[in-house]
């Protein structure tokens, strides 16, 4: 047994018990290095990578799996603690359909690994939106039709609402981005990477942190200035994802005028909505006559979520309800 496991294995169990209010009942398997190497053919089937590690497809006991191996040094000196945090929260989120289901973990490494199921045909949303390869372009066009984007947004909102409400105190993700969302072969969005999650203190609505973490361009302005974490931090980051789904652009795009995505959408949403849409949306066969009211409602919700002041943003439960309402409002073609 490695020194890493001896030091962090107990932290993992303690974290699971604490996060479940003393009643931990989520089974998981601890994989050995030998099992992992055999299952993944020594890392030869890498399928994608996010900000903290790479994902490898494999087979274990005739079941498809997806393995995330954390990069050594990811998140700096706190990397091992963040990795344990990811495993703890991911296991507690196992019941939700919009989170990758965790089979177990491997701790007998310099940095741990998480094993998910099933592990076939997953792609990061960021790869689909921003790094479309020529060979996959037609598939990406189909997967990025407007109805699918709306479904992706609703899926992620549902997972986020669960994260905020299903635990003894709200758990804040702190790193929502298109790089932490995977899309499966059926177009279902699943939230991943809970390494930066923190729980609110009992009875409190905010928590002060000594370091600012998150993905550049998605970090809430108030949190960035004051280091105060609230539920509205996640709402802001989710709003940025909505804007990316709407426009196909990143938060800071040198081709935009102004170059802030929030300001860009705000400036054009009322009079030139079609101008800010991702062109891929406009070329959808069968969706040429897009529902303007639906697009406008989606845009306005994204802007409410990214309001500069957290107090003026909706709660995530209200965001999820509004997205479901927008979905139902779609007129039959």
CA dihedral 249, 303, 159, 52 (to 10 degrees): 40
pLDDT the model gives residue 254: 67
Of all helices (H) and strands (E), which one includes residue 293?
helix 292-305
pLDDT at 14 over 70: no
Q: Give the highest mean pLDDT range of 116-125, 196-205, 295-304.
A: 295-304
State pTM to two decimals.
0.88
Q: Which domains does the chain have, with CATH numbers?
A: 3-117 (3.30.200.20), 123-328 (1.10.510.10)
Please report, rounded to a whole number, the percentage of residues in the chain having pLDDT higher than 90. 39
Dihedral sign computed on CA atoms, order 220, 221, 224, 226:
negative
pLDDT the model gives residue 230: 94
Residue 312 appears among annotated catalytic residues: no
pLDDT at 10 over 60: no
Mean pLDDT calculated for residue range 169-194: 92
Residue 275 pLDDT class (50, 70, 90 cuts)? confident
Asked if omega into 125 is within 30° of 0 (cis), the reply is no
pLDDT at 11 over 60: no
Residue 123 pLDDT class (50, 70, 90 cuts)? confident
pLDDT at 208 over 70: yes
d(CA 128, CA 178): 9
Please report, rounded to a whole number, the percentage of residues in the chain having pLDDT higher than 70. 82
Mean pLDDT calculated for residue range 225-254: 92
d(CA 169, CA 204): 9
292-305 and 231-247 helices, crossing angle to 10°: 140
d(CA 47, CA 199): 31
pLDDT the model gives residue 190: 94
Mean pLDDT calculated for residue range 83-110: 88
Structure token digits, residue 230: 């609230």
pLDDT at 296 over 50: yes
pLDDT the model gives residue 224: 86
Find all residues with CB under 8 Å of 170, minimum gap 6, and list them: 163, 164, 199, 200, 231
Which of the residues 86, 127, 175, 234 is marked catalytic?
175
């Amino acid at each position: 047994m490695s020194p890493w496991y001896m030091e962090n294995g107990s932290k993992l169990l303690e974290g699971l018990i604490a996060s479940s209010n003393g009643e931990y009942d989520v089974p998981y398997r601890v994989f050995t290095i030998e099992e992992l190497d055999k299952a993944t053919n020594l890392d030869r089937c890498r399928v994608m990578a996010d900000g903290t590690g790479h994902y490898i497809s494999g087979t274990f006991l005739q079941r498809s799996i997806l393995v995330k191996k954390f990069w050594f040094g990811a998140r700096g000196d706190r990397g091992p603690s963040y990795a344990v945090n990811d495993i703890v929260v991911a296991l507690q989120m196992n019941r939700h359909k919009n989170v990758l289901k965790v089979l177990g973990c491997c701790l007998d490494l310099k940095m741990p690994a998480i094993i998910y199921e099933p592990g076939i045909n997953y792609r990061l949303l960021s790869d689909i939106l921003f790094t479309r390869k020529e060979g996959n372009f037609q598939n990406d066009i189909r997967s990025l039709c407007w109805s699918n984007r709306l479904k992706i947004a609703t899926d992620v909102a549902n997972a986020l609402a669960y994260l905020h409400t299903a635990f003894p105190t709200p758990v804040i993700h702190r790193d929502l981005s298109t790089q932490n969302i995977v899309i499966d072969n059926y177009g279902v969005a699943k939230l991943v990477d809970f390494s930066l999650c923190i729980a609110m203190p009992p009875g409190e609505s905010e928590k002060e942190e000594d370091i600012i973490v998150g993905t550049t361009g998605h970090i809430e302005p108030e949190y960035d200035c004051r280091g105060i974490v609230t539920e509205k931090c996640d709402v802001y980051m989710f709003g940025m994802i909505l804007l990316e789904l709407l426009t196909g652009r990143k938060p800071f795009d040198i081709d935009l005028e102004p170059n802030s995505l929030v300001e860009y959408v705000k400036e054009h949403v009322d009079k030139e909505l079609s101008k800010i849409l991702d062109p891929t949306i406009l070329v959808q066969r069968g969706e040429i006559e897009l529902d303007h009211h639906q697009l406008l409602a989606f845009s306005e919700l994204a802007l409410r979520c990214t309001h500069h002041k957290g107090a003026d943003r909706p709660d995530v439960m209200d965001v999820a309800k509004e997205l479901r309402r927008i979905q139902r409002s779609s007129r039959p073609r």
